[in-house]
Structure 1
């Protein structure tokens, strides 16, 4: 029997593509798998072991046409929406979580620049993004921890611009991105919402970068940054002087939470794929049986895949819902509960699935390698702000119909 030029063996149940990919995004997913296999996977272990920023992998992602995935086609972007973004993030993460997280944050930064910025700023920065330049978000601060939306830093007016002083705690691509959108406060704003976004180039005076040494995601370069008396001209203010919480709720949070949920789902699938491959190939000499021939192993594989597919289904349904909100002209910030659920569930199941993958792989899974790396990478999800505890509180408060944010 032949389906799509692939020879299928009789009696083997095939996993339908509609179950693993939203309709209409099959070619996008196939292209992402090629990039993952040919470009991301070969560099993933090196990036992890040497804490090496995945610059070449990110360049290859951009060369494949995924540098500005959510930017409209009228400005040379891919215009793939939230659904295309989620498909790509989930697929890339099956091969390299560090590259994927850098790309997710880059995409959120690029879309923020596009949505909140003006036409001149778009003309100045989007062409570079298409060629492989990387953007980053500098939001979280040590003083407020995982409450990254609350910042205590400020940038008062200074000549024809602002003087930025800020200490940021976790900045993905710190010291490696070409530019950063820095979230700070404007003490001069007349708005109740003092939040302001400033675009800072990586080579400006006054920037300090610090090493990133973590359990997983070692290629992320998600270290602290300090902005010491950094002058930012007015033409590098993204949006208005204050009033940027709107873009937090309607651009950054949806992309960040959906992208990370897709990433953890992909990490879980990558770990399980590695465990399945090992279980099929490893044969015990005394019994002549492969590890996969034991029923208990097959049951663990099945339970893990069901968890992954539950997360994938939520991620893709949420992504399609967000695209529909945009199409209808509705505010995404009024519909964040499904995004919270997607991130929470994905960050929970990746811990369980990577543990199952290691257990199925036995002692070999405990050795430095793919499964072990996926386990370390995936553990970041639940503690990455907003943490799963914070999100469950927001979900719970919404369910009993009290204000979720205080």
Structure 2
């Protein structure tokens, strides 16, 4: 059987040195999106990929790469045309994130993912908010980068428990305080989507609110970032110390952050970050194929790629990675169908939340894609041998970047437990804000007590209930 290894995929004036289009699901893209992908690959070659080495080596935020992306209108990718954006859909967003990560720079791709996710929250409520529309209309032309600050130093990846935050209603708006432990693009973003406890909190962590704040209203520490991989992300801490912001900076309604999150930023983050990890996985395969088809063992006259064990590695990696990619594009297409190709005007109806219904599928997507890219990085390193340790081959950089996906919130351990609980015990078992007593565990612990311990425990409960 004959196959055209590279089809028409080009790298500048040369044939691309990795896998060709025969291993890419190009049929999922429209003609316009295919042209955009082609232009983006060119920018990756000329600007973003060379910048990625600098970003990794010197912990440099990829601002020049964002300027290059803006030349294609990509900072406004999902912003409606009437607001100066490209008006593109979920499928295109996934393609762009994957393309940047594969051909350009994983750090830039992840910063871009957070930008798109933060955009989606404003777009969800822009129909009734002139301030949001004003910002959205300027995002691409002025290269205004957005990001999300949801993490908390005391609860880690359990972002739904922002213990180090609060908000109060004032006469003119909102007084917000926030501490975040990990903020992608921290100190370099122009605006931030933050989540705090609501002004009506009263100890109930299901009452959360989202707000829009700008760079001059936050304190960041970009110099503290020094990670194993994703070194251009600048994912450092953030603090907001009781600033007062206008009324129209609340994103959605008070106490309803979960509605906003489940419908827009969470879904876009899970979709596009999964696409990013798929891009890293394919980038590793490209690099491995480039090396193993050129490196030759002169003693027996065989290239590394000629060994059956290496062929097994690549066959497995390609099949598993493309399964993840097809899952990603399939879910993106379902979102396009449900939202009329990401038509934000449909959200004028406050009860329209079609994306939220698919959340468990995006949990599975993130779990599968991040597990796959981590496995791929190990296999490509094994295939490339000692050469894979050398920076010149780029495998070691992609390997370091690949490990971030597993531990980014929600971590794979959290996702496995959520999915396992949901499948075995039902949705009522997903007690995100610790509001339900686990009667089974409680009764089991009580059964271990002797009468004296039971009396002590009873006195403790009576005393606690009296407060």
**2:422 equivalent to 1:398:** yes
* Residue 252 (structure 1) shift: 1.2
Aligned mate of 1:274, from 266, 275, 287: 287
Contact 2:263 2:353 in 1 (8 A): no
Query: 2:326 matched to which residue of 1?
Result: 313
Residue 229 (str. 1) matches residue 242 (str. 2):
yes
Answering whether residue 73 of structure 2 is matched by residue 61 of structure 1, we say no
Unaligned segments of structure 1, at least 5 residues:
8-12
Supply the distance in 1 between the matched residues of 2:27 and 2:68 (Cα, whole angstroms): 23
CA–CA separation in structure 1 for the residues paired with 2:254 and 2:149: 17
Change beyond 3 A, Cα 1:291–1:17 = closer
In the TM superposition, residue 405 of structure 1 has moved relative to its aligned partner by 2.5
**Paired residue total:** 400
TM-score, length of structure 1 as denominator length: 0.91
Rounded Cα–Cα distance in structure 2 between residues aligned with 1:376 and 1:21: 31
Q: 1:21 to 1:61 in 2, by over 3 A?
A: farther
Matches within 5 A, 1:341-360: 341-360=364-383
**Equivalent residue number for residue 36 of structure 1:** 44
- The corresponding residue for 1:10 is none
Higher deviation after alignment, 338-347 or 391-400: 391-400
TM-score (norm 2): 0.80
| Residue 124 (structure 1) aligns with | 134
Whole-angstrom distance in 2 between the partners of 1:330 and 1:53? 35
TM-aligned CA deviation for residue 162 of structure 1: 2.1
Q: How does 1:20-99 map to 2 (within 5 A)?
A: 20=26, 22-24=28-30, 25-94=33-102, 95-99=104-108
CA shift in 2, pair 1:144/1:193, >3 Å: same
Give the match's secondary structure for 1:70.
coil
Q: Larger Rg: 1 or 2?
A: 2
Asked if 2 retains the 8 angstrom alpha-carbon contact of 1:209 and 1:226, the reply is no
Aligned CA distance change for structure 1 residues 4 and 86 (closer, same or farther; 3 Å): same
Q: 1:21 to 1:339 in 2, by over 3 A?
A: farther
Aligned residue runs from structure 1 range 6-405, under 5 A: 16=22, 19-20=25-26, 22-24=28-30, 25-94=33-102, 95-117=104-126, 118-131=128-141, 132-152=143-163, 153-188=165-200, 194-204=207-217, 207-210=219-222, 211-327=224-340, 331-369=354-392, 370-400=394-424, 402-403=426-427, 405=430
Structure 2 portions without partners, runs of 5+: 11-18, 341-345, 347-351, 432-467
Deviations 1:309-360 (A, max 9, x none): 1111111111111222223965221221211111100000001111111111
Could you tell which deviates more after superposition, 30-39 or 43-52?
30-39
Q: Residue 35 of structure 1 contacts residue 64 of structure 1 at CA under 8 Å; is this kept in 2?
A: no
More moved, 39-48 vs 276-285 = 276-285
| CA distance in 2: counterparts of 1:355 and 1:170, whole angstroms | 26
Deviation string, structure 1 residues 242-293 (Cα, Å, up to 9, x no partner): 3221011110111011111111111011011011101122223333432222
* Aligned-residue RMSD, C-alpha: 2.5
